[in-house]
Amino acid sequence: MMVINAGKSQHNEDQACCEVVFVEQRPSPRGWLSSSEGSGELDGGRKGFYFHYWALFDGHAGSGAAVMASERLHLHICEQLRDLVEILQDPSPPPICLPHDTKTSPADPTQVSYTEDHGEVPNNAVPRFHLEKAVSHESLVIGAIENAFKHMDDQIERERASQHLAGGCCALAAIYLMGKFYVANAGDSRAIIIRNGEIIPMSREFTPETERQRLQFLALLRPELLGKEFTHLEFPRRIQPKELGKKMLYRDQNMNGWAYKKIEEDDLKFPLIFGEGKKARMMATIGVTRGLGDHDLKVFSSNIHIKPFLSCFPEVSLASSRFAPGVPAVARATWQDQICPVQQEPSLPLILASCPVACQVRVYDLTQYEHCPDDVLVLGTDGLWDVTNDKEVAAVVMEVLTSYEPNDPCRYTMVAQELVVRSRGVLKERGWRLANDKLGSGDDISVFVIPLGGPGNYT
Amino acid sequence: MMVINAGKSQHNEDQACCEVVFVEQRPSPRGWLSSSEGSGELDGGRKGFYFHYWALFDGHAGSGAAVMASERLHLHICEQLRDLVEILQDPSPPPICLPHDTKTSPADPTQVSYTEDHGEVPNNAVPRFHLEKAVSHESLVIGAIENAFKHMDDQIERERASQHLAGGCCALAAIYLMGKFYVANAGDSRAIIIRNGEIIPMSREFTPETERQRLQFLALLRPELLGKEFTHLEFPRRIQPKELGKKMLYRDQNMNGWAYKKIEEDDLKFPLIFGEGKKARMMATIGVTRGLGDHDLKVFSSNIHIKPFLSCFPEVSLASSRFAPGVPAVARATWQDQICPVQQEPSLPLILASCPVACQVRVYDLTQYEHCPDDVLVLGTDGLWDVTNDKEVAAVVMEVLTSYEPNDPCRYTMVAQELVVRSRGVLKERGWRLANDKLGSGDDISVFVIPLGGPGNYT
């Protein structure tokens, strides 16, 4: 991993975290029942599973939210998963309904008859409603990750005053759990897989442009959230008062195309979404539409809050993978300090499989594919992607990896370092410049390079 | 084209339309200015362009809406395009702002100084707002199609009482205009391109499952639309009152995964979205979430309207194409009556090109591809796709086409007929059966097979 501070803020607002987390099953008063159900262990040992976790947090308006998220998000994910330990380890489909949680309803112990009422409740109420939707294990993990982001955001909200947590952050996390990779993204960081030179996007960016319709829909239904300052309609540029009555191009929330409308008084308000590309802003304030924190962020010199439009929920992509034991190496480098020692991690030869989850979830079916040591998952903040596109990243990955032996664990570190160095460029008179003399990234840059296959597979 | 009535309703609720429409520029009081601008023609002839149009309307709860839509939608599209004739024929980017429309502001002629104030207004109001978004010609056409659907829906609403228009309909329309193909879909019909045996989806279905998050978001923000009958949360099955306090899987509007929640009183309401696949229903009432009509549709024995959730706006996919003149043949067959004579149409060798429109618009870049006579665009109502999947349709297309000479114009008709016949199956004792003895489509079936290349290209 590689992190660099661009100098635009005193402290690096990019934060990173890389952990192996043990998810221990929550102690249950019903534990003694486990053996009779054949699903538990009574050896007194810890029951649970590990997940591997890499995450990047791109802070703005301060590093407080990013720092806290980097210290806690994986713990929230762990907490959400604790209730699922038994369910995820059981190959049968997850139960739709669980019995009363004695912790949450201690006042009513009489209602619970464990022997009669444990686990799935047969549905015999109304014949019309006998349909039951199948829910996969993977979609429980996705739900756990989604809710962990929400709990993280709630914690930042609660503690922002006492902990002096300033600003907000984009969050991108890769979780490897029980042979599958989950990539959760809230913001404008990006994850791609580079597999045999081919680029497979594992995330989408959430910006005023990509989320225009969600934001416009919310504004249309809750116009009070706009104060009297903004219109939910999009226009290609600001309208001048003297243009009243003329016809101007616009887009409403249910349109992808543009049409002309006669300009009315209300259209003179500032558009909810304005600008293009990196300059696109929501309410003239912020360039990302998902992330953690920002609970106090308001439109300049107004009492209009950004938060109801800014969502903390990530989009989670899923990739199934076969675990190949004994192949270490996650590259990790911190520019500010020094190159960190390469950590030993199990390698993650990735084989993506289809999974019956909702259509918005990105699933890549690569079941037939055997990963080689040059296949990697790259996570980067926008500081990387703004100046180095997917193809250029893939080219650097291949160039650097081929210059090292396949079993040299340093090679991934060198990729991460090279990606950061090339994207930052060199400080010249006219600012940071890339090799082609284009402007370098003026932003903080962080990169994770995670190998998906390793020499152990091939020697 | 091929249409069949399944017998589930007395009249075929599927309707179809195939037209070549001339879009004539709207007469303008400023017409005399055209010559000085170099953009007009003063030959007294009609100025405009043609578009080709094929559409399917799958009616429900009566054929009234479907019949009216099949008679009028192309006229609404024409009407929306009339204002764009000059703009679309001018290769320079569309103007962001148009001068006062004298028709809509006749009381204020003094304000308009044509020589000074015609066309684009220079934006010099506020330096901060000098940014101007580029808008493509294609996105104006998409906007015109989107608004045409809205106007069609409004017309059905206005005239439904006087014209006795019952029910609603899904609408799928393919428009070929100035070398590009636009496919607009509102409902669960489907369009695919079969190109060299490969399947390219040109539409998405809009159902309670695919549009879950939009519907839940609307319900969350406007709970009054649910009456007191429904909850916006999704559950895998109905909850029984005696399960209060237990934990059950749920999904909220911002989740793709599932999580457990403690069942509360409010969760006992019927879920907004319920059921799976073809049995999925919104408010236990309707299985599609976009379409025209249905203005009077309410939840059974309640005063809860479906319409605010049911959207009339289509999703428009775009494909650029090169026009190859002189290659006729659109297959057209009506099962109920007889095989209609094959109409002479210009062929449409399709070359899909990327286009700078919004990310929701599907764009296929096939610029390098030269279409052959076996490449077709297939439009079908759900009666086709429910029993015959994309691959099977592609197989039938290839099987039938190869059994005819490439220059035989009947071959496309035979494909359409074969697709309908195979999907309906044969009436046996236990209902309509397919060749594999599976159940045939119990629904009306309509199919358009539109050739994308033709013998003229290759002889």
Burial A59-68 (b: 16+ CB within 10 A, else e): bbbbbbbbbb
Which residues of A are less than 8 Å from B257 in CB distance? 138-146, 316, 357-358, 361
Is B146's CB within 8 Å of A249's CB?
no
Selected residue of B246, B258, B270 to mutate for chain A interface (largest A Cβ count, 10 A): B258
Contact A247/B at CB under 8 A: yes
Q: How confident is the model at residue B132 (pLDDT cuts 50, 70, 90)?
A: confident
Is B135's CB within 8 Å of A249's CB?
yes
With CA atoms as reference, report the closest residue to A76 among A325, A314, A387: A314
Residue of A130, A132, A236 lying closest to B133 (CB–CB): A236
Selected residues 373-412 of chain A with any CB under 8 Å from a CB in chain B: none
Residues facing A316 on adjacent strands: A184
Selected residues 105-134 of chain B with any CB under 8 Å from a CB in chain A: 105, 108, 111, 121, 123, 125-126, 129-134
| Average pLDDT over every residue of B113-137 | 53
With CA atoms as reference, report the closest residue to B361 among B152, B127, B180: B180
Is B108's CB within 8 Å of A236's CB?
no
A86 is written with which tokens? 């038994």
pLDDT digits (tens, 9 = 90+) for A194-228: 988 889 899 999 999 999 999 999 999 999 999 99
A64 is written with which tokens? 């407080």
A439 is written with which tokens? 């402007």
Beta-sheet pairing, A270-271 with A230-231: parallel
DSSP 8-state class, residue A361: S
Q: Which residue on chain B is closest to A275 by alpha carbon?
A: B131
Is B255's CB within 8 Å of A313's CB?
yes
Q: Judge contact between A173 and A108, C-beta under 8 A.
A: no
Q: Judge contact between A426 and A432, C-beta under 8 A.
A: yes
Contact A275/B at CB under 8 A: yes
Is A126's CB within 8 Å of B238's CB?
yes
pLDDT digits (tens, 9 = 90+) for B371-403: 788 889 999 999 899 989 999 999 999 999 999
Q: Judge contact between B233 and B251, C-beta under 8 A.
A: yes
With CA atoms as reference, report the closest residue to B172 among B70, B286, B63, B289: B70
Q: How confident is the model at residue A7 (pLDDT cuts 50, 70, 90)?
A: low
Which residues of A are less than 8 Å from B133 in CB distance? 236-237, 276
Alpha-carbon distance A144 to nearest alpha carbon in chain B (angstroms): 6
Which residues of B are less than 8 Å from A285 in CB distance? none
Residue of A139, A255, A279 lying closest to B257 (CB–CB): A139
Contact B278/A at CB under 8 A: no
Cα separation, A179 vs A177, whole angstroms: 6
Q: Give the pLDDT score at B28.
A: 66
Q: Of the given ranges (A255-264, B2-11, B145-154), which has the lowest mean pLDDT?
A: B2-11
pLDDT digits (tens, 9 = 90+) for A353-363: 222 222 345 55
Residue A318 has pLDDT above 50, yes or no: yes
Cα separation, A120 vs A128, whole angstroms: 19
Residue A118 has pLDDT above 50, yes or no: no
Task: Give me the phi and psi of A248, to 5 degrees please.
Answer: -135, 150
Q: Which residue on chain A is closest to B212 by alpha carbon?
A: A358
Q: How confident is the model at residue A146 (pLDDT cuts 50, 70, 90)?
A: very high
Contact A232/B at CB under 8 A: no
Q: Give the pLDDT score at A3.
A: 59
Task: Give me the phi and psi of B46, to 5 degrees please.
Answer: -75, 130
Residue type, A375: D
Residue A366 has pLDDT above 60, yes or no: no
Beta strand segments in A213-339, E: 230-231, 247-250, 259-262, 270-271, 273-274, 281-282, 292-293, 315-320
Contact B135/A at CB under 8 A: yes
Selected residues 34-93 of chain A with any CB under 8 Å from a CB in chain B: 80, 83
Q: Which positions ≥6 away from B432 have C-beta within 8 Å? A: B6, B424, B425, B426, B439, B440, B441, B442
Alpha-carbon distance A358 to nearest alpha carbon in chain B (angstroms): 6
Selected residue of B98, B216, B260, B311 to mutate for chain A interface (largest A Cβ count, 10 A): B260
- What is the DSSP track for B178-230? TTEEEEEEESS-EEEEEETTEEEE------TTTTHHHHHHHHHH-GGGGTTTE
Cα separation, B41 vs B35, whole angstroms: 7
With CA atoms as reference, report the closest residue to A32 among A117, A114, A119, A120: A114
Q: Give the pLDDT score at B363.
A: 57
Q: Judge contact between A287 and B346, C-beta under 8 A.
A: no
| Average pLDDT over every residue of A120-146 | 72
More confident residue, A428 or B192: B192
| Average pLDDT over every residue of B7-19 | 76
Residue B339 has pLDDT above 60, yes or no: no
Q: Judge contact between B292 and B160, C-beta under 8 A.
A: no
Cα separation, A243 vs A214, whole angstroms: 29
Contact A143/B at CB under 8 A: yes
- For A68, the 3-state DSSP assignment is helix
Q: Which positions ≥6 away from A311 have C-beta within 8 Å? A: A186, A206, A214, A289, A290, B254
B422 is written with which tokens? 């195979």
Mean pLDDT (chain A, rounded): 79
Is A257's CB within 8 Å of B140's CB?
yes
Selected residue of A149, A249, A289 to mutate for chain B interface (largest B Cβ count, 10 A): A249
Mean pLDDT (chain B, rounded): 79
Contact A278/B at CB under 8 A: no
Q: Of the given ranges (A382-391, B27-36, B201-210), which has the lowest mean pLDDT?
A: B27-36
Is A247's CB within 8 Å of B98's CB?
yes
Residue of B80, B96, B105 lying closest to A245 (CB–CB): B105
Q: Which positions ≥6 away from A276 have C-beta within 8 Å? A: A209, B131, B133
Is A358's CB within 8 Å of B111's CB?
no
Q: Which residue on chain A is closest to B124 by alpha carbon?
A: A240
Is B101's CB within 8 Å of A262's CB?
yes
Which residues of B are less than 8 Å from A260 in CB distance? 83, 98
Q: Of the given ranges (A294-298, B52-56, B111-115, B135-139), which has the lowest mean pLDDT?
A: B111-115
B184 is written with which tokens? 């607009």
Q: What angle do CA B308, B311, B312 make, to 5 degrees?
A: 125
Residue of B105, B121, B258 lying closest to A135 (CB–CB): B258
Selected residue of B79, B85, B97 to mutate for chain A interface (largest A Cβ count, 10 A): B97
Selected residues 302-361 of chain B with any CB under 8 Å from a CB in chain A: 311, 313, 315-316, 357-361
| Average pLDDT over every residue of B104-113 | 39
Q: Tokens 């506020």 label which residue?
A: B126
Which residues of A are less than 8 Å from B245 in CB distance? 100, 105, 108, 111
Question: CB count, 10 Å around CB of B226?
Answer: 20
Q: Of the given ranges (A6-20, B166-180, B227-241, B284-298), which has the lowest mean pLDDT?
A: A6-20
Cα separation, B235 vs B247, whole angstroms: 11
Beta-sheet pairing, B270-271 with B230-231: parallel
Q: Judge contact between B10 and B448, C-beta under 8 A.
A: no
Q: Give the pLDDT score at B246.
A: 96
Percent of chain B beyond pLDDT 90? 56
Is B111's CB within 8 Å of A245's CB?
yes
Residue of B99, B143, B255 lying closest to A255 (CB–CB): B143
Q: Is B336 exposed, middle or buried (0-12, 13-18, 19+ CB in 10 A)?
A: exposed
Cα separation, B398 vs B383, whole angstroms: 21
Q: Judge contact between A199 and A394, C-beta under 8 A.
A: yes
Residue of B217, B239, B246 lying closest to A217 (CB–CB): B217
Burial A139-178 (b: 16+ CB within 10 A, else e): bbbbbbbbbbbbbbbebbbeebeeeebbbbbbbbbbbbbe
Is B257's CB within 8 Å of A125's CB?
no
More confident residue, B364 or B70: B70
Percent of chain B beyond pLDDT 70? 74
What sign results for the dihedral spanned by CA atoms A32, A37, A40, A42?
Answer: positive
> What ipTM does the predicted assembly reach?
0.83
Burial A216-226 (b: 16+ CB within 10 A, else e): bbbbbeeeebb
Q: How confident is the model at residue B421 (pLDDT cuts 50, 70, 90)?
A: confident
Cα separation, A119 vs A224, whole angstroms: 45
What is the side-by-side order of every strand in the sheet holding B97-98? A259-262, A247-250, B97-98
Cα separation, B12 vs B25, whole angstroms: 36
Q: Which residue on chain A is closest to B97 by alpha carbon?
A: A248
| Average pLDDT over every residue of B22-32 | 74
Which residues of B are less than 8 Å from A259 in CB distance? 80, 140, 143-144, 146-147
Which residues of A are less than 8 Å from B249 in CB distance? 94, 96-97, 135, 140
Residue A106 has pLDDT above 50, yes or no: no
Cα separation, B414 vs B402, whole angstroms: 11
Q: Give the pLDDT score at B234.
A: 96
